[in-house]
Copies of this chain bind each other. A is one copy, B any other.
Amino acid sequence: MVQLRMALAQLNPIVGDLTGNAELIIEATRKAADAGAHVVVTSEMALTGYPVEDLVLRDTFVRASAAALDSLAARLHEAGCGDVLTYVSYLDADDVGPRDAAAALYRGEVVARQYKHHLPNYGVFDEYRYFKPGQTLDVVRLHGIDIGMVICEDIWQDGGPISALGEAGVDLVVAPNASPYERSKDEQRLPLAARRAREAGAPLAYCNQVGGQDDLVFDGDSFVVDADGTVLARAPQFTEHLLVVDLDLPTGTSHAAGVFAGLDVRRTVISDEPLPAYQPRPSPPLAEPLSDPAEVWSALVMGLRDYVRKNGFRSVIFGFSGGIDSAVSAAIAVDALGPDAVYGVSMPSKYSSEHSQSDAAELARRLGCHFRVEPVADMVQSYVGQLELSGLAEENVQARVRGVLLMALSNKEGHLVLATGNKTEIAVGYSTMYGDAVGAFAPIKDVFKTHVWELARWRNDAAQQRGETPPIPENSITKPPSAELRPDQLDTDSLPDYALLDDILDDYVEGDRGFADLLAQGFDPALIDRVVRMVDVAEYKRRQYPPGTKITFKAFGRDRRLPLTNRWRETH
């Protein structure tokens, strides 16, 4: 058995910020070296951030990334971390085309370099658009330990790199990842990695990106599993973390170069000599997986915080309607940015209820955020009078006046505007374009209405358990939802009961199920017909909605692409 101390640097890079991301890697590696680590692993594309999308098509960016890697190798060495074998993933290109690459840096040099083999091209992934697949595997021997490498999707597909490493023989596998968060995804990831470790016959160190990037959020949750699938170490979700773990590795099995499972396995030897025996550090405690609502809440908080901060904003502004959606959005915003960065605006019209204003004020009081009241009656009247509006046109003008008002305050004061719509209303088109859909980010865009209520209750309970004031007024949770755009309006005038509606949407949107499947689930055919039509015709509105943190498989964003002009109806 041979000892090795490794560190997984779970970092939060900013896409395109080669300089800043290199700094993050250097700082983490220096800390790892101080902790005595011999090997450091970073996440997929840590140097560029992930995903870089069409920046791949710009030669200058590709060249800058490759140059930044060389410079990073030199700077790590200068910083006294040269003897730490550091795995850094980045964007590269060769004669064949652009590559999702990872390199092993040692004493100022790139000692090994490998390209991702499996290129995901489903859901949010478009990697066939960007990259060419790799055909080689680079195994580096350090202190007598043979370390193989796989990049992200390489562990999600059967066969290929893991099989090749298993056949060729390695003592350890490092796996840089950029695996976007989805609700309960860790239930898939960990068993999968355990299986791959068994297939490779070696421990697997899985290092994932953390942080928000547009509508994606990466949860981290980096870990090391042993060759038998046992979890040896696990980092917390939704925070930067340096996970340092001591390994005790069996060596001496047959280790060969050559072609295995169709891939060319190359071997590089840095050192054959095992490390002299040393006192291992106590194992870090395994990070406890978060509960489902805590995990979702953390994703929404991190998604919003990173979108606002990485885009150079310091504060957010949005309508406080007294309803549940704006209340939950406000609680998320305060958790993400602090109360002093959150500006709530109550914008009563002549149809607004008394409680809409008092609940909004109470929300602001509980959160300790900024709050003001700007009535919209005069502005609305100027349109309604001049254009002689009534009905839907009058309803929409109220929502649009509020949008213009928020944008004016944003222009005047520099806040980023949030849209507070939930997934249910976005799915069925129960929103006003250029009205309540105004905003640069939509925190609960991927949260169904029934889930919004659950999160509100969970967040209030969590506050209560910590002896804090529950942030969300009880009345915002319990009162029947209303857009308040005409007298005595209720959501249920236009929509089915939310519990039933969300059930159908979950099947139709998330599951891509058709009419017959929905019928088989026991839903009423007229109701299916009604919901399916609403969803189908609302495609354009969803396309215009601002981005928002994705927490499900089929969020409305880049992972769901339908034609706007489209006559297909499930109910045909």
Interface residues of A (CB under 8 A from B): 14-20, 49, 51-55, 57-61, 64, 121-122, 126, 128-129, 212-214, 306-307, 310-311, 374, 378-379, 382-383, 386-387, 389, 392-393, 396-397, 400-401, 403-405, 407-409, 411-412, 433-434, 438, 440, 512-517, 540, 544, 546-547, 558, 560-570, 572
Q: Which residues on the B side are within 8 Å of A434 (C-beta)?
A: 403-404, 407, 434, 438
Q: Is the CB of B393 within 8 A of A411?
A: yes
**Smallest Cβ-Cβ distance to A565: which chain B residue:** B310
Query: Whole-angstrom distance between the alpha carbons of A516 and B67 in the complex?
Result: 16
Q: Is the CB of A561 within 8 A of B379?
A: no
Q: Which residues on the B side are within 8 Å of A311 (C-beta)?
A: 564-565
Q: Which residues on the B side are within 8 Å of A540 (C-beta)?
A: 440
CB distance from A210 to the nearest CB of B (A): 14
Query: Whole-angstrom distance between the alpha carbons of A409 and B389 in the complex?
Result: 9
**Smallest Cβ-Cβ distance to A14: which chain B residue:** B567
CB distance from A19 to the nearest CB of B (A): 8
Which of A59, A383, A569 gathers the greatest number of chain B CB atoms within 10 Å? A383
Query: Whole-angstrom distance between the alpha carbons of A214 and B60 in the complex?
Result: 32
Q: Which residues on the B side are within 8 Å of A411 (C-beta)?
A: 389, 392-393, 396
Query: Whole-angstrom distance between the alpha carbons of A433 and B61 in the complex?
Result: 29
Oligomeric state, in copies: 2
Q: Which residues on the B side are within 8 Å of A378 (C-beta)?
A: 382, 386
Query: Whole-angstrom distance between the alpha carbons of A378 and B403 in the complex?
Result: 18
* A16 with B396, Cβ < 8 A, contacts A382-B379, A387-B409, A408-B383 known: no
Q: Which residues on the B side are within 8 Å of A513 (C-beta)?
A: 60
Q: Is the CB of B564 within 8 A of A512?
A: no
Q: Is the CB of B400 within 8 A of A404?
A: yes
Q: Is the CB of B126 within 8 A of A15?
A: no
Q: Which residues on the B side are within 8 Å of A561 (C-beta)?
A: 53-54, 126, 558
Contacts A53-B562, A383-B404, A393-B408 supplied; 9 other A-B pairs, CB < 8 Å: A15-B563, A15-B565, A17-B568, A54-B560, A58-B512, A128-B129, A307-B565, A379-B386, A387-B405
Query: Whole-angstrom distance between the alpha carbons of A562 and B558 in the complex?
Result: 12
**Smallest Cβ-Cβ distance to A57: which chain B residue:** B512
Query: Whole-angstrom distance between the alpha carbons of A401 and B405 in the complex?
Result: 10
Q: Which residues on the B side are within 8 Å of A396 (C-beta)?
A: 407-408, 411
CB distance from A48 to the nearest CB of B (A): 8
**Smallest Cβ-Cβ distance to A379: which chain B residue:** B382
Q: Sorted from nearest, which 9 A-B pairs have the closest CB atoms?
A: A60-B514, A16-B568, A17-B567, A393-B411, A128-B128, A16-B566, A16-B567, A379-B382, A310-B565
Query: Whole-angstrom distance between the alpha carbons of A143 and B540 in the complex?
Result: 49
**Smallest Cβ-Cβ distance to A308: which chain B residue:** B565
Q: Which residues on the B side are within 8 Å of A401 (C-beta)?
A: 404
Which of A128, A517, A546, A568 gathers the greatest number of chain B CB atoms within 10 Å? A568
Cβ contact of A570, chosen from B14, B60, B563, cutoff 8 A: B60
Which of A212, A392, A407, A517 gathers the greatest number of chain B CB atoms within 10 Å? A407
Query: Whole-angstrom distance between the alpha carbons of A195 and B59 in the complex?
Result: 31
Query: Whole-angstrom distance between the alpha carbons of A214 and B565 in the complex?
Result: 6
Q: Is the CB of A51 within 8 A of B563?
A: yes
Q: Which residues on the B side are within 8 Å of A128 (C-beta)?
A: 121, 128-129
26 A–B contacts, CB within 8 A, in A order? A15-B566, A16-B566, A16-B568, A18-B572, A20-B567, A49-B563, A52-B568, A58-B512, A60-B513, A60-B517, A61-B568, A121-B126, A126-B126, A214-B563, A307-B565, A310-B565, A374-B386, A379-B379, A383-B408, A389-B412, A392-B411, A393-B411, A400-B408, A401-B404, A404-B404, A434-B434
CB distance from A538 to the nearest CB of B (A): 13
Q: Which residues on the B side are within 8 Å of A515 (C-beta)?
A: 60
Q: Is the CB of B544 within 8 A of A564?
A: no
Q: Which residues on the B side are within 8 Å of A562 (C-beta)?
A: 53-55
Query: Whole-angstrom distance between the alpha carbons of A197 and B387 in the complex?
Result: 62
